[in-house]
Amino acid sequence: MTAPIVLKIGGNELDTPGFVDELALVVKKIAPVVLVHGGGREISSTQEKFNLTPVYMDGLRVTDEPSLRIAEMVLCGSINPRIVRCLQLNGVEAQGLNGSDRGLLRAKKLEHPKGDLGRVGEVIAVRAEILQALLAQGVTLVIAPISLGDGDVFNVNADYAAGAIAKALNAEKAIFISNVPGVLQDGQVIPTLTPSLAAELIANGVIQKGMIPKVETALEVVKSGVAQVVITNLAGVAAGTGTAIVSH
């Protein structure tokens, strides 16, 4: 079987009208694909409806028990079936999963130097054989990163879940979908970023604002053993372009 590509899509992209329809067309071109999705914006708005204030620490959602239930409800009960339904309607054989299904993703509590994140986890094991069997049947997998932990579940950052899955599958690459065609310098896409070049461009202000955490997360995923992480938009996925983050 051809090595799969792991695509990570975030809540901002999912809120864009027509995005999943376009995504379906791209998936058809590059299959086999594993989609890992977040849903931060929808989780936050749902928290607020329940009079809970979203709290973040270095970009990670602090997840107490009520917030965990909301994250699970939104990711597994709303966003995941919505993506699957749209893919199916566009002719893509799709199946939704979350990390609890068959113990697909096992996680432990993520310890953070700045404080307690609550029920936020990091993936420690992936049952890759489950994914490989479904991919071999031509199924596009749509995974919500709620992961099985000690007696309950953990909320896992979708970027890191995508990285863990990519590593376990020996994926060709992981692609972080953005709203821009890559990391830009003077309006042009930087084709390749190493850790040293990334640090230099961040220090010089070339990489700034919301792109900094994306690049830093990609670097951590590459450090974990994934060959490369590409930051690009949907058009870039189809064309094979974007910024490739590599270890050296």
Quote the CA–CA distance of 50 and 196 in Å, as a whole number: 44
- Does the structure show a pLDDT above 80 at 114? yes
Encoded tokens for 166: 């990519």
Return the half-sphere exposure (C-beta side, CA atoms, 13 A cut-off) of residue 192: 6
- Give the tens place of pLDDT for each residue, 56-94: 988 889 999 999 999 999 999 999 999 999 999 999 999
What's residue 16's pLDDT?
Answer: 87
| Predicted model pTM | 0.94
Domains and CATH numbers, the chain: 5-177 (3.40.1160.10)
- Give the tens place of pLDDT for each residue, 161-212: 999 999 999 998 999 999 899 999 999 999 999 999 999 999 999 999 889 9
Quote the CA–CA distance of 149 and 107 in Å, as a whole number: 5
- Give the tens place of pLDDT for each residue, 10-27: 888 888 889 999 999 999
- Does the structure show a pLDDT above 90 at 218? yes
DSSP H helices, the chain, are: 11-14, 19-30, 40-49, 65-74, 80-89, 128-136, 158-168, 195-203, 211-223, 234-239
Nearest by Cα to 170 from 129, 140, 204: 129
